[in-house]
A and B are shown apart, each in its own frame.
Chain A
């Protein structure tokens, strides 16, 4: 399977605990994105990496959230001191790089990690 993979698929944690999610993108993709999706909504952008550099962060990404992509391959998203409002599906996506208006930049998504904070 050469698609985007995410682990774990489900995580239940108690409020106040820290959690870490992992994303493995498609191997030749140098761009990696994290999104959050709550019930009845579309995905909301959190952050974006090009290779190992974190280039964009949404205002949704509070200081309790941190993301890394240490070698430009897999990425981790950590949430510290989880709150019930953090309960959501966390989606990772990857895409090829490139510039110019002929580049499609379609993103390929992983299956997501569903976080439940009790």
Chain B
């Protein structure tokens, strides 16, 4: 079975500080992709960053980086230099080759950036 686990329902971070949002996953497939999405209060899911299971280097996209530890099955999102606009729900998701194209999402982490 495929599963994404996000154990932090809520996180707080001081503006300009870095924060790590945790994500662990479970799959027996060797080929999969891991994604992070941001969902502001407006409701739209915004794609942030992608990590493929065969990628040897951790993904980075601007202030976002993904700490991929394959043996531990973790894919934590690191946001550097937090901004007030980063306050939102963050979802980790996985796509697995063997189950086609559906995404499996975690329950999300609510991030609040404190000025």
Q: Which residues of A contact B (CB under 8 A)?
A: 31, 33, 35, 40-45, 48, 50, 55-56, 58, 89, 91, 93, 95, 101-102, 104-112, 114
Q: How long is the Cα–Cα vector from A19 to B36 in the complex, in angstroms?
A: 31
Contact B101 A104 (CB under 8 A): no
* A42-B108 CB under 8 A given contacts A48-B102, A56-B100, A89-B43: yes
Q: Are B47 and A111 in contact (CB-based, < 8 A)?
A: no
Smallest beta-carbon distance B83→chain A, Å? 22
Closest CB-CB distance, B4 to chain A, in whole Å?
Answer: 8
Chain B residues, CB < 8 A from A44: 105
Q: A33 CA to B102 CA in the complex, in Å?
A: 8
Report the bound CA distance from A42 to B101 in whole Å.
17
Q: Is the CB of A101 within 8 A of B107?
A: no
Total count of chain B residues near the partner, CB < 8 A: 28
Instruction: Say which residue of B33, B47, B52, B103 sits within 8 Å of A45 (CB atoms).
Output: B103
B35 touches A106 (CB 8 A): yes
A114 to B43, CA, bound (A): 9
CA distance A111 to B97 in the complex (A): 27
Check A45/B102 contact, CB under 8 A, given A40-B107, A101-B52, A106-B35.
yes
Q: A33-B101, A48-B101 are in contact. Are A105 and B106 (CB under 8 A)?
A: no
- Is there a chain A Cβ closer than 8 Å to B31's Cβ? yes
Instruction: Flag if A101 contacts B45 (CB, 8 Å).
Output: no
